[in-house]
Structure 1
Amino acid sequence: MLPKAHRLTNSEDFRRTVRSGQRSVTPTVVVHSAFDGGDDPARFGVTVSKSVGGSVVRHRVARQIRHGILGRLADVPSGSRWVIRALPAAGARASGGAPSPGTDVQAGIDLAMRGAGR
């Protein structure tokens, strides 16, 4: 579970991040990021649609994504906003032997930070 200070909870924050931020794509997730600066902690939101699978699969994918976020929480800049959207391929990878969506989240965050020159 992400600490409350690191969660995106407002739909307007989700919308602004997706529309005005930059995007990084991996095989199982799309990582939207916006770097506003400031001293606020980095905040994350996770979106897993029904196209990923049934409720059990969606919740497993969301847990794996949150676990991947926790692995990079100390590395992301303060004041940034992130929305992680699972792609349908995430459902197949969540229970298989292939790298989990959490691994792809970490790669997507790295791509976004490299693209922003951070």
Structure 2
Amino acid sequence: MLPAAHRLIDAASYRAASRTGRRSGSRTLVVHLAPGQEGDLRVGFVVSKAVGNAVIRNRVKRRLRHLVRERLTSLPDSGALVVRALPAAASVGSAELAVDLDRCLQRVREAQR
């Protein structure tokens, strides 16, 4: 579970990060990273019904939360990060999700420099 200070909870923040942030995608994920002025980095996840039924969607969300929690120290100090799972995320393991997440995060961080 992510600490409460790092959770993105309102729809407006999701929309703003998706529209104004840098985007990078892979076969299983799309990552949006929007810079912020102050405060903690907030993270949100989007896993639609296209990914699978409720059990599969929750499994994908748990895996993604765990992977992002491990990477919080390497991410910017402020801003908003939205991780959107694509349907292919349901059929891959945690290791492949980790590789795709790392690749996408690296791309959006390079694009912000």
Whether TM-score is above 0.5 comes out as: yes
**Aligned residue for 2:8?**
8
Q: Which amino acid aligns with 2:107?
A: L
The TM-score normalised by the length of structure 2 is: 0.92
Instruction: Give the deviation of 1:106 after TM superposition.
Output: 2.6
Range moving further from structure 2, 8-17 or 102-111:
102-111
Q: Which amino acid aligns with 2:35?
A: F
**Aligned residue for 1:28?**
28
Instruction: Give the deviation of 1:101 after TM superposition.
Output: 2.3
Question: Map of 1:73-112 to 2, 5 A cutoff?
Answer: 73-94=72-93, 99-112=95-108
Q: Is 2:90 aligned against 1:115?
A: no
In the aligned structure 2, how far is the partner of 1:45 from the partner of 1:12?
12
In the aligned structure 2, how far is the partner of 1:73 from the partner of 1:26?
20
Instruction: Give the deviation of 1:23 after TM superposition.
Output: 0.4
Runs (5+) with no aligned partner, structure 1: none
The TM-score normalised by the length of structure 1 is: 0.88
What percent of counterpart residues are identical?
37
CA RMSD of aligned residues (A): 1.4
In the aligned structure 2, how far is the partner of 1:116 from the partner of 1:15?
19
In the aligned structure 1, how far is the partner of 2:27 from the partner of 2:96?
10
Q: Which amino acid aligns with 2:88?
A: A
Q: Which amino acid aligns with 1:71?
A: E
**Aligned residue for 2:46?**
47
